[in-house]
Amino acid sequence: MELEGLTHLRSGKVRELYAVDDEHLLLVATDRVSTYDCVHPTPVPDKGRVLTAMSVFWFEQLDGVVDNHLVTADVDAMPAAVRAHREVLHGRTMLCRRVEVVPFECVVRGHLAGSGWVEYQRDGTVCGEPLPDGLVEADRLPSPVFTPATKAADGEHDENVPFSAMVDALGEELAGRLRELSLAVYAHGRDHAAQRGIILADTKLEFGLLDGRVLLADEVMTPDSSRWWPADAWRPGSTPPSYDKQFVRDHATGTGWDRTPPAPALPDDVVAATRARYVEAYERLTGRPFDAWLDG
């Protein structure tokens, strides 16, 4: 996505990154949707706006828990070069401070799912952390577990690593601070969601460094970076439906796709159901109508 007056730095699976000046970046969430690290050719309308709105909500909620890189999500309060593209960027962009990105994904797991469940079945551990015997899929863990992962290049999978690998790379003080903050963010999100009838099964966070401070960065507890389950559908022994792109995964798997590029196109009903799921997640978690975000 080229925006005149702004320097395009990189494209991710979902986000576009632009330089605004020496101290600020523009993070733009598109409507692209990916599964198995492949982007589908069919966008999901407003998906990027949901991701942005959700992140802004959590940045607000986490004030006092951890500092963050967000300056503003109001395009009208951004520099002129950004305001020139208001129609395209409204609701889907954040002006952020430049930070030195920590080269680890900070994952917190409160339930046994995904790659954690796979490893537990094999070894009785998650990222090398031993867990009690007898747990089943989707079980609530005795206490949340911090399980970092190395950042993978686009198109590749993040690799779970033991906490000791993070300590070796970053030092004990910084690694310990990241673990402490990650667990605090997860606990805040879990407790808030529980009041809304939703379970935060796990979440993936990113942090950056600025003038010696650790800042929460990128997206925060969105349907793309977290597993959100309706509490009334949770039954240990099977994974409940998620507030995410599960409709897309199910369709893609049902086509016989081998999970290598190119990803298949999506039919209208899958697109509509996925959009509805993202919007429902936002509205239930925040208590705010999504239309108000679009009209802001």
Tell me the per-residue pLDDT of 56-66, one tens digit each, with 9 for 90 and over.
Answer: 999 999 999 99
* pLDDT confidence of residue 60: 97
| pLDDT exceeds 90 at position 159 | no
The hierarchical CATH code for the domain 101-233 is 3.30.470.20
- Taking 60 as the threshold, does the pLDDT of residue 154 lie above it? no
Segment 226-276, tens digit of pLDDT: 999 999 999 999 989 999 888 899 899 999 999 999 999 999 999 999 999
Residue 175 has pLDDT above 70, yes or no: yes
- State the pLDDT at residue 129: 86
Q: Give pLDDT, residue 239.
A: 86
Structure confidence at residue 123 (pLDDT): 95
Structural domain spans, the chain: 101-233
What's the average model confidence in pLDDT over 7-27? Answer: 96
Tell me how far the alpha carbon of residue 231 is from its chain's centroid.
Answer: 20
In the chain, which residue ranges form alpha helices assigned H by DSSP? 47-61, 80-83, 86-89, 114-123, 163-170, 172-195, 246-254, 268-286, 290-295
Residues sharing a CB contact under 8 Å with residue 278, sequence separation 6 or more, in sequence order: 44, 46, 47, 50, 51, 223, 243, 244
